[in-house]
Structure 1
């Protein structure tokens, strides 16, 4: 179970505290178990700081606290603060990564056999799409829908998600695509062949939580080879 520790303190010496945190990050490289750290400053009281540190589990957090650098940095941190920092230990019971969830829903809708109208709830009207297959970028939700309908007319396919990573306003999905060639694709008549390809998609989200931009990279050459339209080079 993911574990989060909240460190609450007051200080007017944030720059020194910030440098101290940088030292800890550098000195514990390769040995610390913390996976994510965020520091927030109270808008109503700029001396009030809260650090949120995430660990894979409570046990990993305890391992981290036993590092000699952690103990030393904490003592130096206390010296910079007004009073002793307080700690709150939290077991994470819900972790909703909203943009990543929306990215997952996007791939589900694209693959579904029914119409693409649910995309209106996921994608901005002025969505901007970057696909190496296209000479010009696709701009607009309606244009994206036509592009996807073209793929769905050419193949019965599905995406299998291999990895998904979210950072800031972007979500990267590494996927495997599997399809059956049932209709014209790039002027290639239907072959009935099964094909697979791998690729990655980076989606950028707007402040409203909808998908605003997308970048696609995939093995198009490998796909064409499986459809039998590429000649094997002579050895």
Structure 2
């Protein structure tokens, strides 16, 4: 179970403490067990800082604490604080990655049967799409909706999420697309063929969680070959 430690401290010597943390990271390279660390500064008190450190489990956190470098750095950190820092140990009982969830909802909506659901809760009105299959970027929520309708008109399809990685405001998704060619697609009449395609999409999310930009990479050449378009061009 994921374990999180909150370190609450007050210091007027944050720059020195920041350098101290860099030293600890360097000395424990390859052995530290923390997976994520965030330091925040109190907007109402410039000397008040909270560090949030995430570990895979409590046991891994203890391994981290028991390293000799950790004890040494802790003593030096205390000396830089205006008062004794406090520690809060938390077992994570719920972890909602809201940007990633919004992206999963978008992939589900794109392939859902029936009419395409409204996208205003998922995508910004000024959404900007980068797709190498298009000569120009698609800009605007209404424009990307028309792009989706073009795909939905040509195929009955679903996305399977294979991997998803979040970093800051970006969500990277590796996906598998399975479709049946049921309608005209870029001038190619319906063939009834069942086609599979893989790809990766990076979405950028705004502060409100809505998707504001996307970059697509997928096997378009393989798709067109499966549809017989390349054979027709060769002939």
TM-score bracket, shorter-length normalisation: over 0.9
Match of 2:164 in 1: 164
Q: Does 1:154 align with 2:154?
A: yes
Q: Please state how far the C-alpha of 1:207 moved relative to its aligned partner.
A: 2.2
Residue deviations 1:174-223, cap 9 Å, x none? Answer: 11111111122222222211111111111112222211111111111111
Q: Does 1:48 align with 2:79?
A: no
Q: After the TM superposition, list the runs of 4 or more consecutive aligned residues in structure 1 that deviate by more than 6 angstroms.
A: none
In structure 2, how many angstroms separate the alpha carbons of the residues matched to 1:16 and 1:189? 67
In structure 2, how many angstroms separate the alpha carbons of the residues matched to 1:25 and 1:162? 32
In structure 2, how many angstroms separate the alpha carbons of the residues matched to 1:80 and 1:32? 22
| Equivalent residues in 2 for 1:124-163, closer than 5 Å | 124-163=124-163
Match of 2:28 in 1: 28
Match of 1:115 in 2: 115
Q: Please state how far the C-alpha of 1:117 moved relative to its aligned partner.
A: 3.2
Say how many residue pairs are matched.
Answer: 231
Q: Please state how far the C-alpha of 1:50 moved relative to its aligned partner.
A: 1.0
Match of 2:187 in 1: 187
Q: Please state how far the C-alpha of 1:24 moved relative to its aligned partner.
A: 1.3
Is there any run of 5+ residues in structure 2 with no aligned partner, and where?
none
SS of alignment partner, residue 50 of structure 1: strand
Q: Please state how far the C-alpha of 1:91 moved relative to its aligned partner.
A: 0.5
TM-score w.r.t. the length of structure 2 is: 0.94
In structure 1, how many angstroms separate the alpha carbons of the residues matched to 2:114 and 2:198? 24
In structure 1, how many angstroms separate the alpha carbons of the residues matched to 2:39 and 2:213? 29
Q: Please state how far the C-alpha of 1:63 moved relative to its aligned partner.
A: 1.0
When the two chains are superposed, the root-mean-square deviation of aligned CA atoms in Å is 1.3
Residue deviations 1:13-69, cap 9 Å, x none? Answer: 101100011111122121111011011112222221111100111111111111122
In structure 2, how many angstroms separate the alpha carbons of the residues matched to 1:116 and 1:207? 25
| Equivalent residues in 2 for 1:67-86, closer than 5 Å | 67-86=67-86
Q: Please state how far the C-alpha of 1:120 moved relative to its aligned partner.
A: 1.8
Is there any run of 5+ residues in structure 1 with no aligned partner, and where?
none
Match of 1:19 in 2: 19
In structure 2, how many angstroms separate the alpha carbons of the residues matched to 1:50 and 1:215? 34
